C-alpha cells in the first residue's frame, strides 16, 4: 500500500493558465481532447523540467507538447502517473483520450446514470477523464465544448456560463461553456442528458439577477419546488449571515440517481443524488425535507467555503467541509429550531463520530497520512471538523467570528490554502492566542474531561476541579492538552439565579466560557450558603466526553430547571443512561430487569412541563440508542443490551400508557401538512408516543389505521417502521406489497421502503437476501445498496449481530462483490465490521474472521485494503 504523507507536500512544478476541453460523446465511447497551457511555477526555485500528470483507465489516442506528438519513449505511465521529462518552461500540452463511461461502475469520472452522462471528480475522479495535474492546488480557467446526439442528449451542461451552442451534422449538436473563475479540476462537471428544467430567479443584495435552474428527468418535475425554495433561502441566508454573494449569472443543480455521495458542489453546476433534491409531502418525511434543505445549503455555501477559497491538498479537507458543515448547521438552526438542531447534531457526533475516534480508523480532522483519500470523507473530518469551527465561534463570539471569516474570504480568495490559514485569521481578529487550539487539527481521539466537585458547608467553600486526558490512538500514543472551551453556569438552587463568575481567572464573561488548557485546573468559591448546581459544557461547547459522577437528584434538578436547552436535554439523557448501564450489569450477570421509579417520575414531569415544546419533549424522552450505549460498555453482549432496551421501553410504555395515548390522540390532528418547525415538533412527539405504545402489543390497530389514513410521508413512514418491527408476518407482507404496488414508479419511495424493511427488527438475513432478489434492487445503484445492505449492517443490530456470525458473513460477501464494481461503496460498508473490539469475544472473533477473508481477496481495491489493514493491525 502506497501511503501519502502531509509532511511530503511540495508545491506543484507547473501551473495552468487555461484548460480547454472537448468531449465528443458517442454511444460506444467518449473522445476527450484537452488543450492545456502550462507554465513553470515561480514558487519552485529548483526550476523543474518534469511534468507529472495523473491518468487512470484512459486509452491514449495521442499526446503532444507544443504540437509535437509524443511517442511512448517520451513518457512513462506507471501507477496513475504519466511522467514527461524535459519539458520547456511554458508549453502547450494536448491529449486525445478515449474513455468508456458506460463501463464505469465506480461512479468516479464520467459515467452513465439512467442514460444520462454525468461526472463526479472529487476527490480524484478527474484523472479518469483525461491526463491532468489532479490536485487541488493547481487551479485553472476551464472552457468546455460538448458534442452529442441531439435527440438523446438535448441538454449539455458544464461549469460557468453558456458561451455558444448550435447544431452539427448527423443530427448532433454542441454547447460551449466557460467558467471565468479559476478552479481545481475536482470542481469540474459535465452533464449530457434529456432533462426538464425548473427555473427561477434570485436577485442578489447587489441587485444582480441570477438564473436558477434545477434539471431533472421529466417525471420528477413535480418534486423540484422545495429544492428551489431551499436554494433561494440558502442564497439569502449566506448574504445576511456571512456576507457572501453569488458570483456567476447562473446556478444549476442536476439530480442523478446513481451517486456515491450526497451531492457535489461543482462550480455553478451542483450535481445531487436524487434522494437529496427531489421532494414533496407525499414522498418526503420531515427529516427528509430538513436534510434536503441543509444539503442544498451545504453545496451552495461551498461556492465560497470550498470553491472561491479551496484546499491546498486533501489533508486540508476539513478546511472546506468542517467549515461548510458548521455553516449549514447554523443555516438550519436559524431557519428552524436551534435547540433541536443542536441536539440532533450532538447525537450524531456522540453515536457515530465518537465511535470512529475510538476505532481503528481514528484520525485527526486534519490527517497526517492516507492511502485512499475517499476513505477520509468521514464523520471526523465533517462533523468533528464542524465542532472545531464551532468552538472557534464560541471562543470568539458571533461578531468577532464573522470578522474572522470575512478576513479569511478576503485574504485567500482564489487561493488553495490550509487549516492554519483559517485559524490564523480567527487569531488576528480576536487577539486570542490559538496556538494550543491548533492541536484539535492534529490530534485524534475524543478528549475526556473529568469533573470533581466538593462543597464544605461549614466554610461555605466550593471547589470544582477539571482534569483532561485523551486515550492513545494509532501513531499517537501520547496527547498534549487541548484548549477546551467549557461554557458553564453555576445555579443557585434556592432562588434559581446564577452565581457571579467574574472573579474566575480563566472565565470569559462575554462568552460565558471557561478556558480549560491545562491537564488539571481548579476553581474555588468562598462564602456560599449552599452548594450550587453546576451546568457544564452548555450547548455542548466542545466535542469531549464529560465524566461527572454526581447525585441523580442533580440531573433531575437540571432536567427540570436548566435554562440551557441543550443541557436540560443532556440531564435527561444522563438519567436514562445511568439507569440503563446499571441494569445492563444486572442483566449481564443473569439478574432481572427492574425499572427505576424516579426515572418514570422524571419522565412524567417532562410530559407535564408546560414550557417545553413538543419537539423538546420528544428529544428528551427518547432513550439513548443501541449504538451509543454499546460504546459505553466494555465488550458489550448484544443480546443483553437489546433485551434490556426492549424491557425498558416496555416498562416506560406501561407506566405512562395513558399519557402516551392522550398525547398521541391530541397530536394526531388533520391539519394540512406543512414543513414548519411547530408541525415538525408535533409529529416527532407523536412518533415517540406511538413508538412507546407499540411495545404494548394491543396498539397494532392504531398503527395500521395511521398507515391507512396518513396524508404525508412522515406519518406513513412512522407507521411502516413500526409495522416492520412487528411479528405479524401476514399483515406485514400485505402492507409491504401494497406500498410497493402504489409507489413502484417513485425511486425515492422505493428506496425508503427497502430501507425501512431492512432495519425492521423482524427482518432476518433470509429476508434481506430476498429483498436483494426483488426487481427494485440493483447492486450497481449506491442508494439501493445503502437502503438494503447499509441499513441492515448499521440499523438492524439484532440480525446483523446474529450469534452464528451469519450477518457478518453476509456483509463480507457483499463487500467482496462491490469491491469489483464500486470500491468507494464497498469500503464504506466495511465500517460495520471494524468496531469488533466493542463486542463480546464470540462476535469479535467472527468479525475478525470476515475481515481476514476480505483481506485475502487478490484484487482488493486500495479503498477496502486500507480499512481492512488498519482494522487488523
Catalytic residue among 299, 321, 330, 372: 299
Q: Which does residue 286 touch among ligand DPP, Zn ion, none (CB within 5 to 8 A, set by kind)? A: none
Complex with ligand DPP: residue 266 or 568, whichever CB lies closer? 266
| DSSP code, position 132 | B
Question: Are 506 and 485 spatial neighbours (Cβ–Cβ below 8 Å)?
Answer: no
- For ligand DPP, the closer of residues 187 and 335 by Cβ is 187
**Segment lying near ligand DPP (by CB under 6 A), choices 109-117, 259-267, 478-486, 543-551:** 259-267
* Bridge partner list, 507: 514
527: alpha, beta or left, given left = phi > 0 and alpha = psi -120 to 50?
left
H-run or E-run covering 31: strand 30-40
**386 versus 688: smaller Cβ distance to ligand DPP:** 386
Comparison of 332 and 725: residue with beta carbon closer to ligand DPP = 332
Q: How far is the CB of 710 from Zn ion (least distance, A)?
A: 33
The three cell numbers locating residue 767: 429476508
DSSP string, 214-233: EEE-GGGGGG-HHHHHHHHH
330 binds, among Zn ion, ligand DPP, none (CB under 5 to 8 A by kind): none
* Strand 269-273 to 250-256 pairing: parallel
**What sign does the CA torsion over 408, 412, 416, 417 have?**
negative
Site for Zn ion in 295-334 (CB under 5 A): 321, 324
CB 140 within 8 A of CB 183: yes
* 741 counts as catalytic: no
Site map 394..423 versus ligand DPP, x via CB under 6 A: ------------------------------
> With b meaning 16 or more CB within 10 Å and e meaning fewer, what string describes 330-369?
bbbeebbbbbbbbbbbbbebbbbbbbbbbbbbbbbbbbee
C-alpha 807/C-alpha 99 separation (Å) is: 38
Q: Which does 356 bind (CB under 5 to 8 A by kind): ligand DPP, Zn ion, none?
A: none
What minimum distance in Å lies between the beta carbon of 264 and ligand DPP? 4
Report the Cα 634 to chain-centroid distance in Å: 27
First vs last C-alpha separation in the chain: 14
As measured in angstroms, the least distance from the Cβ of 374 to ligand DPP is 10
Paired strand residues for 473: 476
Chosen from ligand DPP, Zn ion, none, partner binding at 238 (C-beta under 5 to 8 Å by type): none
Question: Judged by CB, which is closer to ligand DPP: 143, or 321?
Answer: 321
474 interacts with, out of ligand DPP, Zn ion, none, CB within 5 to 8 A per kind: none
The nearest distance, CB 382 to ligand DPP, in angstroms, is 7
Hey, how many other C-beta atoms are within 10 angstroms of the C-beta on 91?
19
Nearer residue to ligand DPP within complex by CB, 191 or 656: 191
**From the list Zn ion, ligand DPP, none, which binds 264 (C-beta under 5 to 8 Å, kind-based)?**
ligand DPP
- Of 642, 664, 640, the C-alpha closest to 653 is 664
Peptide bond just before 434 cis, omega within 30 deg:
no
CB of 294 to ligand DPP, least distance (A): 11
Total residues binding Zn ion (CB under 5 A): 2
Which residues inside 650-689 make contact with ligand DPP, applying CB under 6 A? none
Nearer to ligand DPP, 148 or 825 (CB): 825
* Residue 566 φ then ψ, to 5°: -65, -45
Q: Which 370-399 positions form the footprint of ligand DPP (CB under 6 A)?
A: none
The alpha-helical segments, DSSP class H, found in 656-699 are 657-667, 677-694
Binding of ligand DPP at residue 321 (CB under 6 A)?
yes
Map residues 477-496 to x or -, x wherever contact with Zn ion holds by CB under 5 A: --------------------
Structural element, H or E, at residue 439: helix 439-442
Positive or negative: CA dihedral 778, 783, 789, 791: negative
For residue 122, the minimal CB distance to ligand DPP (Å) is 5
Beta bridge partners of 112: 117
- Residue entry with cell 452522462: 117
- Cα distances (Å, whole numbers) of residue 638 to 70, 245, 633, 797, 846: 62, 51, 10, 8, 14
> Phi first, then psi: what are they for 797, rounded to 5°?
-60, -35
Q: Which residue's CB is nearer to ligand DPP, number 121 or number 793?
A: 121
Residue whose CB is less far from Zn ion, 48 or 262: 262
Least Å distance between CB 499 and ligand DPP?
Answer: 43
User: What character string, x for contact with ligand DPP (CB under 6 A) and - otherwise, covers 83-122?
Assistant: ---------------------------------------x
Q: Which one of the spans 61-69, 165-173, 295-303, 762-770 is the region binding ligand DPP (CB under 6 A)?
A: 295-303
How many Cβ atoms sit within 10 Å of the Cβ of residue 495? 6
56 or 263: CB nearest ligand DPP:
263
Which residues within the stretch 515-554 sit at the binding site for ligand DPP (CB under 6 A)?
none
Contact partner at residue 263 from ligand DPP, Zn ion, none, CB < 5 to 8 Å by partner kind = ligand DPP
Residue 373 contact, options Zn ion, ligand DPP, none, Cβ 5-8 Å cut-off depending on partner type: none
Q: Which listed residue (137, 217, 238, 299) binds ligand DPP by CB under 6 A?
A: 299
Among 264, 349, 636, 693, binds ligand DPP (CB under 6 A): 264
Q: Which is nearer to ligand DPP, 23 or 301 (CB)?
A: 301
Contact 192, 114 (CB under 8 A): no
Number of residues that bind ligand DPP (CB under 6 A): 9
8 Å CB contact between 816 and 857 = yes
Shortest gap between Cβ of 318 and Zn ion (angstroms)?
Answer: 10
- Residue 652: name its binding partner from ligand DPP, Zn ion, none (Cβ under 5 to 8 Å by kind): none
Instruction: Name the minimum Å distance from CB 265 to ligand DPP.
Output: 5
What's the CA gap between 437 and 485, in Å, rounded?
10
Q: What is the DSSP string of 516-568?
A: E-SSEEEEEE-S-SS--EEE-SGGG-SSSEEEE---HHHHHHHHHH-SSHHHH
The rounded distance, in Å, linking the Cα atoms of 56 and 128 is: 5
Tell me which of ligand DPP, Zn ion, none is bound by residue 261, counting a contact when its beta carbon lies within the kind-specific cut-off of 5 to 8 angstroms.
ligand DPP
Beta carbon of residue 267, minimum distance to Zn ion (angstroms, whole number): 14
Site residues for ligand DPP, window 116-155 (CB under 6 A)?
Answer: 122
The H-or-E segment that residue 766 falls in is helix 765-773
3-state secondary structure of 207: coil
Among 221, 261, 333, 600, binds ligand DPP (CB under 6 A): 261
122 binds, among ligand DPP, Zn ion, none (CB under 5 to 8 A by kind): ligand DPP
Any idea which residues carry the catalytic annotation? 299
Can you give the binding site for Zn ion, defined by CB under 5 A?
A: 321, 324
Can you give the binding site for ligand DPP, defined by CB under 6 A?
A: 122, 261, 263-265, 298-299, 302, 321
Amino acid at each position: 500500500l502506497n501511503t501519502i504523507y502531509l509532511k511530503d507536500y511540495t508545491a506543484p512544478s507547473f501551473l495552468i493558465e487555461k484548460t480547454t476541453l472537448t468531449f465528443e460523446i458517442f454511444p460506444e465511447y467518449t473522445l476527450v481532447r484537452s488543450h492545456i497551457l502550462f507554465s513553470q511555477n515561480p514558487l519552485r526555485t529548483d526550476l523543474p523540467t518534469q511534468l507529472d500528470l495523473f491518468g487512470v483507465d484512459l486509452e491514449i489516442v495521442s499526446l503532444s507538447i507544443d504540437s509535437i506528438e509524443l511517442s511512448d519513449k517520451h513518457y512513462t505511465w506507471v501507477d496513475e502517473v504519466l511522467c514527461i521529462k524535459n519539458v520547456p518552461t511554458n508549453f502547450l500540452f494536448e491529449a486525445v483520450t478515449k474513455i468508456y463511461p458506460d463501463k464505469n461502475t465506480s461512479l468516479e469520472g464520467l459515467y452513465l446514470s439512467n442514460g444520462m452522462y454525468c461526472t463526479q471528480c472529487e476527490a480524484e475522479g478527474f484523472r479518469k477523464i483525461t491526463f491532468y495535474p489532479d490536485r487541488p492546488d493547481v487551479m485553472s480557467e476551464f472552457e468546455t465544448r460538448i458534442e452529442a446526439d441531439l435527440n438523446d442528449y438535448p441538454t449539455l451542461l458544464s461549469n460557468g456560463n453558456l458561451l455558444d451552442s448550435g447544431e452539427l451534422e448527423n443530427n448532433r449538436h454542441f454547447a460551449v461553456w466557460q467558467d471565468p473563475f479559476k478552479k481545481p479540476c475536482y470542481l469540474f462537471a459535465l452533464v449530457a442528458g434529456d432533462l426538464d428544467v425548473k427555473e427561477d430567479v434570485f436577485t442578489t443584495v447587489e441587485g444582480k439577477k441570477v438564473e436558477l435552474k434545477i434539471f431533472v428527468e421529466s417525471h420528477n418535475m413535480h418534486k423540484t419546488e422545495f429544492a428551489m425554495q431551499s436554494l433561494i433561502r440558502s442564497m439569502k441566508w449566506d448574504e445576511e449571515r456571512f456576507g457572501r454573494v453569488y458570483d456567476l449569472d447562473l446556478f444549476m443543480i442536476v439530480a442523478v440517481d446513481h451517486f456515491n455521495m450526497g451531492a457535489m458542489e461543482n462550480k455553478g453546476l451542483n450535481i445531487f443524488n436524487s434522494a437529496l433534491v427531489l421532494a414533496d409531502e407525499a414522498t418526503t418525511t420531515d427529516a427528509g425535507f430538513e436534510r434536503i434543505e441543509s444539503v442544498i445549503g451545504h453545496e451552495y455555501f461551498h461556492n465560497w467555503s470550498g470553491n472561491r477559497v479551496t484546499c491546498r491538498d486533501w489533508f486540508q479537507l476539513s478546511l472546506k467541509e468542517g467549515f461548510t458543515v458548521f455553516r449549514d448547521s447554523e443555516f438550519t438552526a436559524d431557519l428552524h429550531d436551534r435547540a433541536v438542531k443542536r441536539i440532533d447534531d450532538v447525537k450524531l457526533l456522540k453515536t457515530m463520530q465518537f465511535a470512529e475516534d475510538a476505532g481503528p480508523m481514528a484520525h485527526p480532522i486534519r490527517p497526517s497520512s492516507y492511502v485512499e483519500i475517499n476513505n477520509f470523507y468521514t464523520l471526523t473530518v465533517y462533523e468533528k471538523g464542524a465542532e472545531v469551527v464551532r468552538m472557534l465561534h464560541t471562543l470568539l463570539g458571533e461578531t468577532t467570528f464573522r470578522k474572522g471569516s470575512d478576513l479569511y474570504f478576503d485574504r485567500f480568495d482564489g487561493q488553495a490554502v490550509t487549516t492554519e490559514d483559517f485559524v490564523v485569521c480567527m487569531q488576528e481578529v480576536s487577539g486570542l492566542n490559538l496556538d494550543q487550539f491548533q492541536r484539535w487539527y492534529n490530534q485524534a481521539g475524543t478528549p475526556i474531561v473529568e469533573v470533581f466537585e466538593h462543597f464544605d458547608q461549614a466554610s461555605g467553600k466550593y471547589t470544582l476541579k477539571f482534569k483532561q486526558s485523551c486515550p492513545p490512538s494509532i501513531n499517537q500514543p501520547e496527547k498534549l492538552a487541548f484548549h477546551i472551551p467549557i461554557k458553564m453556569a453555576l445555579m443557585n438552587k434556592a432562588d434559581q439565579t446564577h452565581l457571579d463568575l467574574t472573579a474566575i481567572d480563566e472565565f470569559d464573561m462575554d462568552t460565558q466560557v471557561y478556558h480549560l488548557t491545562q491537564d488539571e485546573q481548579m476553581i474555588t468559591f468562598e462564602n456560599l450558603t449552599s452548594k450550587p448546581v453546576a451546568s457544564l459544557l452548555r450547548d455542548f461547547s466542545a466535542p469531549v466526553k464529560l465524566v461527572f459522577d454526581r447525585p441523580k437528584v442533580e440531573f433531575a434538578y437540571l432536567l427540570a430547571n436548566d435554562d440551557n436547552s441543550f443541557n436540560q436535554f443532556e440531564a435527561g439523557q444522563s438519567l436514562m443512561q445511568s439507569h440503563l448501564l446499571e441494569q445492563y450489569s444486572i442483566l449481564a450477570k443473569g439478574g432481572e430487569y427492574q425499572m427505576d421509579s424516579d426515572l418514570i417520575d422524571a419522565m412524567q414531569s417532562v410530559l407535564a412541563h408546560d414550557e417545553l415544546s413538543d419537539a423538546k419533549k420528544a428529544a428528551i424522552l427518547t432513550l439513548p440508542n443501541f449504538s451509543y450505549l454499546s460504546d459505553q460498555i466494555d465488550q458489550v453482549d448484544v443480546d443483553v443490551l437489546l433485551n434490556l432496551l426492549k424491557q425498558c421501553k416496555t416498562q416506560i410504555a406501561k407506566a405512562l400508557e395513558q399519557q402516551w395515548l392522550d398525547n398521541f390522540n391530541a397530536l394526531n390532528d388533520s391539519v394540512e401538512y406543512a414543513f414548519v418547525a411547530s408541525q415538525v415538533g408535533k409529529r416527532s412527539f407523536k412518533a415517540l408516543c406511538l413508538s412507546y405504545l407499540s411495545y404494548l402489543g394491543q396498539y397494532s390497530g392504531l398503527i395500521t389505521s395511521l398507515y391507512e389514513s396518513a396524508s404525508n410521508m412522515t406519518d406513513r413512514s412512522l407507521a411502516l417502521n413500526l409495522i416492520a418491527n412487528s411479528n405479524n408476518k401476514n399483515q406485514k407482507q400485505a402492507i409491504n406489497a401494497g406500498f410497493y404496488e402504489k409507489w413502484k414508479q417513485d425511486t425515492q419511495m422505493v428506496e425508503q421502503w427497502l430501507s425501512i424493511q431492512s432495519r425492521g427488527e423482524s427482518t432476518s438475513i433470509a429476508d434481506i437476501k430476498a429483498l436483494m432478489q426483488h426487481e427494485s434492487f440493483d447492486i450497481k445503484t449506491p442508494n439501493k445498496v445503502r437502503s438494503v445492505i447499509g441499513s441492515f449492517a448499521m440499523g438492524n443490530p439484532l440480525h446483523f449481530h446474529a450469534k452464528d456470525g451469519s450477518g457478518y458473513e453476509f456483509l463480507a460477501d457483499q463487500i467482496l462483490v462491490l469491491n469489483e464494481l464500486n470500491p468507494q461503496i464497498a469500503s464504506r460498508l466495511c465500517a460495520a465490521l471494524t468496531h469488533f473490539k466493542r463486542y463480546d469475544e464470540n462476535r469479535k472473533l467472527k468479525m475478525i474472521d470476515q475481515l481476514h477473508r476480505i483481506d485475502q481477496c487478490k484484487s482488493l481495491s486500495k479503498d477496502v485494503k486500507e480499512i481492512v489493514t488498519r482494522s487488523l493491525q
